[in-house]
């Protein structure tokens, strides 16, 4: 058992007056209970009446939202907004069983608007859940050994892990560790169990949150495990990225990368995306001590006055990378070893059928922007009824039907065929594209994303075909606001929403997520987006070197300047 290092000298709950309002709210919440249980019983409104409870529910994996398509109409009718809730499942490493799939499918049909969303951090989201159905969903998940604790909130979020079947032999070991880390860092409050499962409160002399304390983390904290050569999880975008080192059957340890993050805000010029820095190597057996030390550092030094500067990346830049590393080492009680060599090839998924050395078959299926509904939902339910392996949700919002034995492959192929599981008519660009949810559910969206990208991709496909570039793999990511939920700032082409129909256009990110892109045009509509891309593609088609990626070309050709420091300030 690893000893948890807690620096009580910085127990901030002692001096709350100097801190931001969310810190006081957390400290006064009775370890995330607040008055959520009472708010759920209030039948006067479809919302949760207390704004503090709305924030606290995020720690329970639940977001209050409203249907933004109906906002104006309801305002005119003097009705309250059409409140409903998003529920995010905690699914470390993105792996679930067929019986869990069937339960999730069932809950989405009965309580979640007959749709499911696969997220960029390898989990499921239900949208459109009404207040009186929240308990049904959470208890239904509990029946199948799933929960939503810490899927959102100021805590360690869903832990990611590479799911590429080609990494299978090492995958089992790393996925087990990812799950162990997820269990280790999960909030320990019993508040969740009391509110959602009806457990009785038990008086105990033990500390309710031995690691987090009453104020939890200053902000969300994200951990991800990558297995080279696949960087599907975008390890440089994680607060704590762990790069597995070893051979199949012999996992040795992890290179440790700290301080990645995508979020930025137009309103706050001192916010920026940042790539994580690799600071050293730890043997696998010392990993939990490392996780405690890194998270403990951020818990104790993160900014608790200004939430917009509270992510780990800003703490590191404020304290300096060297000092941060030394302090983490002090807390671990040992030094990092020199980081081990590794290389990444790509951050996308390899689609279609593969067979691994253990004789199992895997099918990676393209799910456009992670959205599952209608005939696709039916097809996947049919597959879950016969499948004996696992489902793996990829960090690119796709799905792997994994671990299929010889005798089941034909059945699954037939079921896929009934749907239209044929990848050949899906362009390379579309397969490598990703959009965040945005409208109509996301309260922060300024522009469309998931509902618009498919249409825009069709138009960009035409440009690529005209230049003979349709086979060229390139990454394209869109968001409805600058927050970066589809990790746009490391894509070769990115569009982030500014206003309805208007986006900032970024070019020059690294193909395997190793380099930030740069903004080339601000606040532009579709016509100028296509015109700008058309010009860049023309030059690329004429001047590209053999095997040169589009992002690399944009830098070499001077279309954008390279971001050299691993972060950029708002352009
Ligand atoms: Fe995100 C907030 C959706 C991955 C950065 N994100 C939101 C909220 C909850 C909006 C809100 O606060 O009211 C969105 C809910 C939309 C909806 O209707 O479902 C939302 N984020 C998503 C998802 C579902 C996008 C998707 O299409 O898959 C992803 C869920 C991941 C998961 O399963 O946990 C999602 N969000 C990300 C990522 C990518 C990642 O983590 O790898 C990022 C960038 C990485 C990072 O954190 O730096 C990301 N989301 C944000 C931010 C900006 C954070 C910041 O540092 O400034 C916000 C806004 C905030 O926290 O204040 C945000
Ligand atoms: Fe919402 Fe913005 Fe995230 Fe898209 S990037 S889901 S619009 S917060």
pLDDT in tens, 231-268: 999 999 999 999 999 987 789 999 999 999 999 998 88
Tally of domains within the chain: 3
Instruction: Give 12-51 pLDDT, tens digit per residue.
Output: 445 777 889 999 999 999 999 999 999 999 999 999 999 9
- Locate the ligand 2 atom nearest the alpha carbon of residue 447 and give its number: 7
- DSSP label at 446? S
* One domain, residues 313 and 193: yes
The residues with which 282 forms a beta bridge, in sequence order, are 254
* One domain, residues 370 and 313: no
* 554 known member of a binding site: no
- Please tell me the residue having the least CA distance from ligand 1 atom 22: 485
* 481 known member of a binding site: yes
Q: Write the CATH number for 343.
A: 3.30.413.10
Between CA 371 and CA 363 the distance in angstroms is: 18
* 442 known member of a binding site: yes
Between CA 339 and CA 468 the distance in angstroms is: 41
Ligand 2 pocket member 436 (CB < 6 A): yes
Among the listed residues 161, 290, 379, 442, the single catalytic one is 442
Q: Write the CATH number for 424.
A: 3.90.480.10
Distance set, CA 376 to CA 147, 214, 237, 402 (Å): 25, 43, 30, 17
Give catalytic status of residue 179 as yes or no: no
The residues with which 246 forms a beta bridge, in sequence order, are 251
* One domain, residues 401 and 467: no
Give catalytic status of residue 90 as yes or no: no
483-507 mean pLDDT: 98
Judged on CB neighbours under 10 Å (0-12, 13-18, 19+), 406 is exposed
Among the listed residues 436, 477, 515, 544, the single catalytic one is 436
Neighbours of 388 (CB within 10 A): 11
- Locate the ligand 1 atom nearest the alpha carbon of residue 152 and give its number: 34
Give catalytic status of residue 71 as yes or no: no
pTM of the model: 0.96
136-151 mean pLDDT: 98
Q: Which one, of 181, 315, 353, lies nearest residue 254 by Cα? A: 181
Among the listed residues 220, 304, 313, 331, the single catalytic one is 220
H helices then E strands: how many in the chain? 17, 20
Ligand 1 pocket member 442 (CB < 6 A): yes
The residues with which 87 forms a beta bridge, in sequence order, are 62, 126
Ligand 2 pocket member 480 (CB < 6 A): yes
Structural domain that includes position 364: 352-428
- Amino acid 358: pLDDT: 87
The residues with which 64 forms a beta bridge, in sequence order, are 85
- The residues, ordered by sequence, that sit 6+ positions from 41 with a Cβ below 8 Å of its Cβ are none
Give catalytic status of residue 330 as yes or no: no
Which ligand gives the minimal distance to the CA of 223?
1
Please, what is the Cα angle at 349 between 285 and 403, to 5 degrees? 65
Distance 118 CA to ligand 1 centre (A): 13
- Amino acid 475: pLDDT: 97
User: Helix or strand or coil: residue 506?
Assistant: strand
* One domain, residues 436 and 468: yes
The gap between the terminal CA atoms of the chain, to the nearest Å, is 47
User: Helix or strand or coil: residue 354?
Assistant: strand
* One domain, residues 343 and 440: no
- Locate the ligand 1 atom nearest the alpha carbon of residue 265 and give its number: 57
Distance 368 CA to ligand 1 centre (A): 18
Residue at a domain's end among 329, 347, 365:
347
Give catalytic status of residue 161 as yes or no: no
pLDDT exceeds cutoff 80 at 298? yes
């Amino acid at each position: 058992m690893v000893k948890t290092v807690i620096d009580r000298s910085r127990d901030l709950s002692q001096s709350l007056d100097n801190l931001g309002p969310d810190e006081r709210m957390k400290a006064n919440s009775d370890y995330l209970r607040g008055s959520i249980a009472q708010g759920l019983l209030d039948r006067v409104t479809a919302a949760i009446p207390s704004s503090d409870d709305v924030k606290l529910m995020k720690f329970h994996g639940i977001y209050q939202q409203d249907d933004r398509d109906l906002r104006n109409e309801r305002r005119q009718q003097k009705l309250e907004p059409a409140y409903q809730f998003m529920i995010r499942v905690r699914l470390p490493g993105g792996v679930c069983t067929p019986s869990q799939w069937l339960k999730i499918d069932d809950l989405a049909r009965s309580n979640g608007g007959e749709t499911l969303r696969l997220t960029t951090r390898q989990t499921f989201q239900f949208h459109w859940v009404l207040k009186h159905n929240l308990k049904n969903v959470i208890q239904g998940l509990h029946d199948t050994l799933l929960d939503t604790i810490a899927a959102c909130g100021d805590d360690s979020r869903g832990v990611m892990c590479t799911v590429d079947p080609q990494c299978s032999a090492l995958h089992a070991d790393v996925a087990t560790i990812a799950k162990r880390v997820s269990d280790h860092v999960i909030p320990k409050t019993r508040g969740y169990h009391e509110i959602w499962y009806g457990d009785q409160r038990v008086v105990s002399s033990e500390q309710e949150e031995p690691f987090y304390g009453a104020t939890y983390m200053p902000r969300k904290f994200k951990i991800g495990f990558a297995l080279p050569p696949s960087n599907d999880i975008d390890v440089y975008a994680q607060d704590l990225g762990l790069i597995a080192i070893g051979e199949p059957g012999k996992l040795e340890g992890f290179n440790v990368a700290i301080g990645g993050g995508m979020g930025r805000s137009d309103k706050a010029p001192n916010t920026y995306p940042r790539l994580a820095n690799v600071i050293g190597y730890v043997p696998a057996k010392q990993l939990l001590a490392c996780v405690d030390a890194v998270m403990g550092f951020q818990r104790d030094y993160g900014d608790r006055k200004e939430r917009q500067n509270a992510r780990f990346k800003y703490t590191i830049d404020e304290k300096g990378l060297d000092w941060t590393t030394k302090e983490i080492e002090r807390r671990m009680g040992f030094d990092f070893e020199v980081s081990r060599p590794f290389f990444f090839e790509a951050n996308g998924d390899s689609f279609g059928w593969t067979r691994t050395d253990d004789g199992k078959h895997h099918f990676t299926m393209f799910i456009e922007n992670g959205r599952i509904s209608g005939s696709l939902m039916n097809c996947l339910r049919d597959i879950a009824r016969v499948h004996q392996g696992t489902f793996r949700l990829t960090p690119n919002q796709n799905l792997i039907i994994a671990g299929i034995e010889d005798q089941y492959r034909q059945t699954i192929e037939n079921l896929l065929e009934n749907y239209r599981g044929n990848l050949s008519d899906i362009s390379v660009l579309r397969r490598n594209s990703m959009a965040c949810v945005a409208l109509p559910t996301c309260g922060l969206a300024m522009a469309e994303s998931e509902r618009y990208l498919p249409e825009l991709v069709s138009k960009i496909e035409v440009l690529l075909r005209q230049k003979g570039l349709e086979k060229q793999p390139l990454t394209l990511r869109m968001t409805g606001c600058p927050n970066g939920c589809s990790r746009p700032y490391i894509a070769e082409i990115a569009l982030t929403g500014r206003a309805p129909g208007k986006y900032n256009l970024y070019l020059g990110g690294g193909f395997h997520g190793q380099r930030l892109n740069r903004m080339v045009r601000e606040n532009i509509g579709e016509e100028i987006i296509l015109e700008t891309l058309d010009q860049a593609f023309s030059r690329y088609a004429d001047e590209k070197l053999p095997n040169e990626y589009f992002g690399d070309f944009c830098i070499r050709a001077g279309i954008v300047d390279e971001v050299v420091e691993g972060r950029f300030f708002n352009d």
